[in-house]
């Protein structure tokens, strides 16, 4: 069964497996002890730190192993913010950061700090000038991911690092998604990563604090890991994580370029999906992106249902959609980009992904989408908006149309989850005259994101959102 969710967690690398088993025999002792077994464990820990530092591009004494990537992010942010408290308590981050950054930002704000969120463009990329504009005299820290975990867009880290350095503000880079593909460029101050993203075992994170960066570890500490990550760490897992990262680097330097091979497969998916499946939006930067990841959203499709269809067809993929069962709120990344969230599919290819598996995925995807759409009453082979729907014309309740335009209709989609509100909108838009409005009543949080996105895709005018007794009223004017 092809596994296409490496952005969540990559399969355990064969080298990691071998190193883990060997380290369980040789590295079980406490590396802080002076007897033989402890010295052997210490040698393994030092070698792992040196290997990881070489792959990341830092000094070994700048790198700390943590229990997870999330722990590294939280420790890194807290340590810098505490050390720079006299400079100020202003935190800046992009609108598409990983939830670990957002949760730490919420805690910072709850403790009296201030937070500025830098917007992104439709590709999910921040503008360096926007980051510069968010800086103030009291800015203590800037957080910027190296590449986005949902859509793959790479951020201008080197440019932002230069801006931060000139302003005297440290930059923390969440490099969880990009470290497997090479060192992060730029003069950043703090970097975090997570081993299970590159084929290491879970439970190992990296926290790099470059020399000269003011840092004050928070909470109780001990003599281990420079006081930045207390406790007896999982040394066998650390050894396995470093071994797999070193193996990836060695393979990239000596053999065929796996990143370029995967980039070619992703290019095929990006090009073919819109040709094979109607009403699809491929999101993320088409050029400045991770080599192994592609995300697209399908109109009139429930994301959870589509993932189940693909799972039955033998493919493990992920979704950042608001329609997944884990959360009933839209993906903050897709929302910040202003793109469609319904029917969202993220394909992230692991190292060694087979070309024939990608070809088979492209073969089964159209039928999976058609099957889900059929369940929602979307006719096959024709535009949804031509299908018609049983809606009452309630011109007096609709938003006032332009002068001389025909009155509009109201679609009641209250109590119905996405993609139903958008489907019902699409069904009736063709039944009203050009210039008239359709008002969709919905209490689904995704409608606030998906109705404007649908309008952009269909060249219709999104008039805006109005208050309603339940949920909100979303007004659309027919333009074509």
What does the mean pLDDT of the chain come to? 90
DSSP letter string, 27-38: S-S-TT--SHHH
Range with lowest mean pLDDT among 3-12, 41-50, 247-256, 455-464:
247-256
Average pLDDT score over residue span 464-479: 93
Q: Per residue in 102-159, pLDDT tens?
A: 999 999 999 999 999 999 999 999 999 999 999 999 999 999 999 999 999 999 999 9
- Does 386 score more than 80 pLDDT? no
Q: What pLDDT, on a 0 to 100 scale, did the predictor assign at position 222?
A: 81
Q: How far apart are CA 77 and CA 179, in angstroms?
A: 19
Residue 320's pLDDT band (cuts 50, 70, 90): low
- Catalytic choice (143, 164, 323, 418): 323
- Among 406, 413, 396, which Cα is nearest to 454's? 413
Domain boundaries, the chain: 14-252, 258-375, 385-477
- Among 319, 258, 249, which Cα is nearest to 291's? 258
Q: How far apart are CA 291 and CA 375, in angstroms?
A: 34
Q: What pLDDT, on a 0 to 100 scale, did the predictor assign at position 407?
A: 55
Which residues, in sequence order, are CB contacts of 133 under 8 Å at separation 6+? none
Q: Per residue in 252-291, pLDDT tens?
A: 887 778 999 999 999 999 999 999 999 999 999 999 999 9
Structure token pair of residue 476? 């659309």
Q: What pLDDT, on a 0 to 100 scale, did the predictor assign at position 388?
A: 38
| Catalytic residue status for 323 | yes
Other beta carbons within 10 angstroms of residue 138's beta carbon come to 12
Q: What pLDDT, on a 0 to 100 scale, did the predictor assign at position 376?
A: 85
- Among 212, 180, 206, 173, which Cα is nearest to 83's? 212
Decide if 405 contacts 436 (C-beta within 8 A).
yes
Q: Per residue in 349-376, pLDDT tens?
A: 999 999 999 999 999 999 999 999 998 8
Average pLDDT score over residue span 448-468: 92
Residue 392's pLDDT band (cuts 50, 70, 90): very low
What is the third-level CATH fold of 385-477? Answer: Translation Initiation Factor IF3 (3.30.110)
Whole-number percent of the chain with pLDDT over 90: 79
What is 258-375's CATH number?
3.90.1150.10
Decide if 186 contacts 144 (C-beta within 8 A).
no
Residue bearing tokens 């009403």:
279
Residue 324's pLDDT band (cuts 50, 70, 90): very low
Which residues, in sequence order, are CB contacts of 234 under 8 Å at separation 6+? 67, 203, 204
Q: Per residue in 158-197, pLDDT tens?
A: 999 999 999 999 999 999 999 999 999 999 999 999 999 9
Burial class (CB in 10 A: 0-12, 13-18, 19+), 362: middle
* CATH 3.40.640.10 correct for 14-252: yes
CA distances from 431 to 268, 278, 450, 451 (A): 38, 21, 21, 18
- Does 385 score more than 70 pLDDT? no
Q: How far apart are CA 297 and CA 94, in angstroms?
A: 22
Q: What pLDDT, on a 0 to 100 scale, did the predictor assign at position 329?
A: 63
Identical fold at 258-375 and 385-477? no
Q: What pLDDT, on a 0 to 100 scale, did the predictor assign at position 394?
A: 41
pTM above threshold 0.75: yes
């Amino acid at each position: 069964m092809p596994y296409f969710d490496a952005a969540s967690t990559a399969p355990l690398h064969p080298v990691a497996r071998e190193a883990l088993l060997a380290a369980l025999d040789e590295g079980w002792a406490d590396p802080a002890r002076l007897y033989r077994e402890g010295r052997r464990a210490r040698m393994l820990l030092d070698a792992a730190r040196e290997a990881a530092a070489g792959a990341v591009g830092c000094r070994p004494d700048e790198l700390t192993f943590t229990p997870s990537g999330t722990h590294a992010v939280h420790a890194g942010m807290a340590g810098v913010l505490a050390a720079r408290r006299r400079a100020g308590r202003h935190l800046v981050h992009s609108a598409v950061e990983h939830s670990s950054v957002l949760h730490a930002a919420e805690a910072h704000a709850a403790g009296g700090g201030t937070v500025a969120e830098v917007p992104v463009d439709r590709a999910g990329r921040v503008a360096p000038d926007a980051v510069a504009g968010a800086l103030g005299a009291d800015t203590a820290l800037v957080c910027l991911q190296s590449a986005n975990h949902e859509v793959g867009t790479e951020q201008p880290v080197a440019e932002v690092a230069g801006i931060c350095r000139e302003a005297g503000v440290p930059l923390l880079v969440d490099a969880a998604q990009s470290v497997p593909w090479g060192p992060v460029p730029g003069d950043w101050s703090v970097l975090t990563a997570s081993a299970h993203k590159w084929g290491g075992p879970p439970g190992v994170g990296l926290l790099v604090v470059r020399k000269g960066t003011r840092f004050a570890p928070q909470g109780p500490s001990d003599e281990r890991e420079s006081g930045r990550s207390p406790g007896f760490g999982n040394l066998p897992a650390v050894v396995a994580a470093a071994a797999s990262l070193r193996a990836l680097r060695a393979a990239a330097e000596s053999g065929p370029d796996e990143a370029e091979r995967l980039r070619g497969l992703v290019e095929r998916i990006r090009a073919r999906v819109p040709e094979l499946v109607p009403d699809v939006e491929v999101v993320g930067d088409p050029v400045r992106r991770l080599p192994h990841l592609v995300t697209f959203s399908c109109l009139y499709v429930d994301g959870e249902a589509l993932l189940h269809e693909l799972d039955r067809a033998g493919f493990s993929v992920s979704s950042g959609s608001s329609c997944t069962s884990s959360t009933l709120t839209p993906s903050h990344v897709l929302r910040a980009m202003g793109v469609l969230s319904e029917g969202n599919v993220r394909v992230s290819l692991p190292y060694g992904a087979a070309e024939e598996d990608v070809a088979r995925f492209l073969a089964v995807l159209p039928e999976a989408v058609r099957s889900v759409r059929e369940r929602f009453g979307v006719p096959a082979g024709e535009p949804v908006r031509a299908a018609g729907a049983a809606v009452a014309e309630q011109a007096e309740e609709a938003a006032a149309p332009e002068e001389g335009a025909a009155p509009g209709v109201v679609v009641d989609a209250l109590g119905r989850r996405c993609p139903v509100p958008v489907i019902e909108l699409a069904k009736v838009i063709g039944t009203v005259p050009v210039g008239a409005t359709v008002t969709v009543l919905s209490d689904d949080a995704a409608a606030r994101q998906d109705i404007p996105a649908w309008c952009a895709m269909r060249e219709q005018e999104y008039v805006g959102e109005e208050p309603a007794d339940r949920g909100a009223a979303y007004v659309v004017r027919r333009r074509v």
